[in-house]
């Protein structure tokens, strides 16, 4: 069932679980993540970033993913990740996305607040939740122009209050596109931000976070945890082995099944670490038609 981000995150600041947002790039990995969620009876967020939308136009991606979400037996949020501007966010909303992120993290905070408020006004007019970022999470292997800047608790509080966003991405030690689980997460900074921000927090670059720290994050105010590289690595490693083992197989329908199973298992592992199955009461409420307001 297609779900709104605010609904799947509503108890994450109070209870010890978080919901993963898996970056997906097409039908197969979207299906693998939904299959993982259905296996566990837990909600899931499917996120499409700039690279994915350069490959598949947002209007095409949106219609496909919304259809898949509507046919799923668990709550599925369709999320725009790192929306760069007003036009991209508007296109995602028009395409049926049930959550959008505007990323103004590289701007001076005054400009970030001003532009985020414009996005919030647009999205909330259509009852679509908004994520934004204050501070900045850099990249491990590309996009060198993206700065790494830990989030100030003062800035986080101000930003949340002035923009009216539904959840807030903050920078506390992770990096995008990490392949090793060596990120040093500043849990004292997390406590300081939690003390002044009362909406769910969002972690970007979670592939680089150790299993132990993912379990710890599930007990904090982080409600949404973005994971992409872990799935791509599971896919790439499996596909590479299969191509080397079967060099005369060319049909993607034969090449993809094992790789997609590995993606599914990687997704299940992350959902278990984040205790996502604790959110299954939401699925029951939505299936029974109970209000989630």
pLDDT of residue 143: 57
Separation CA 192–CA 87 (nearest Å) = 34
Share of the chain above pLDDT 70, in %: 91
For the chain, the domains span 5-287
Which of 29, 81, 103, 166 is catalytic? The answer is: 81
Q: Would you state the pLDDT for residue 127?
A: 97
Q: Where would I find the H helices in the chain?
A: 5-9, 27-40, 50-55, 58-71, 86-94, 109-125, 153-163, 187-194, 211-217, 229-245, 252-273, 280-287
Q: Tell me if 83 sits within 8 A of 17, measured CB to CB.
A: no
Residue-level pLDDT at 141:
63
Closest CA to 134 of 105, 157, 111: 105
List pLDDT tens digits, range 236-278. 999 999 999 888 888 888 888 999 999 999 999 999 999 988 7
CA 126 – CA 124 distance, rounded (Å): 5
Name the pairing type of β-strands 201-203 and 167-170.
parallel
* pTM across the whole model: 0.91
Tell me the CA end-to-end span of the chain in Å, nearest whole number: 17
Q: List, in sequence order, every beta strand (DSSP E) within 181-260.
A: 201-203, 222-227
pLDDT of res. 290? 46
- What per-residue confidence (pLDDT) applies to 144? 59
Domain spanning 5-287 has what CATH number?
Answer: 3.20.20.70
Q: What is the DSSP letter of 208?
A: G
Which residue did the predictor score with more confidence, 287 or 111? 111
Confidence band, pLDDT 50/70/90 cuts, at residue 282: very low
Write out pLDDT tens, residues 60-100: 999 999 999 999 999 999 999 999 899 999 999 999 999 99
To the query of whether residue 81 is one of the catalytic residues in this protein, the response is yes
């Amino acid at each position: 069932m297609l779900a709104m981000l605010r609904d799947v995150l509503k108890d994450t600041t109070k209870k010890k679980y978080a919901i993963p947002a898996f970056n997906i790039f097409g039908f197969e990995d979207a299906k693998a993540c939904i299959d993982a969620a259905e296996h566990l009876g837990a909600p899931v967020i499917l996120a499409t970033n700039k690279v994915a939308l350069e490959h598949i136009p947002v209007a095409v991606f949106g219609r496909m993913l919304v259809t898949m979400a509507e046919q799923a037996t668990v709550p599925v949020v369709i999320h725009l990740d790192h929306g760069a501007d007003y036009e991209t966010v508007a296109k995602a909303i028009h395409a049926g996305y049930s959550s959008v992120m505007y990323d103004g993290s590289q701007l001076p905070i005054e400009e970030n607040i001003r532009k985020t408020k414009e996005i919030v006004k647009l999205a909330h007019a259509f009852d679509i939740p908004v994520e934004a970022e204050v501070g900045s999470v850099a990249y491990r292997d590309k996009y060198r122009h993206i700065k790494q800047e830990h989030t100030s608790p003062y800035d986080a509080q101000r930003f949340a209050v002035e923009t009216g966003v539904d959840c807030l991405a903050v920078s506390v030690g992770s990096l995008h596109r990490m392949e090793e689980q060596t990120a040093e997460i500043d849990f004292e900074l997390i406590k300081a931000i939690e003390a002044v921000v009362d909406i769910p927090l969002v972690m970007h670059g979670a592939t680089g976070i150790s299993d132990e720290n993912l379990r710890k994050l599930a007990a904090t105010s982080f409600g949404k945890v973005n994971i992409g590289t872990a799935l791509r690595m599971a896919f790439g490693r499996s596909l590479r082995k299969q191509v080397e083992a079967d060099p005369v197989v060319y049909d993607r329908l034969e090449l993809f099944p094992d790789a997609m199973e590995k993606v599914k298992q990687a997704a299940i592992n992350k959902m278990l670490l984040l205790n996502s199955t604790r959110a299954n009461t939401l699925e029951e409420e939505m299936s029974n038609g109970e209000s989630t307001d």
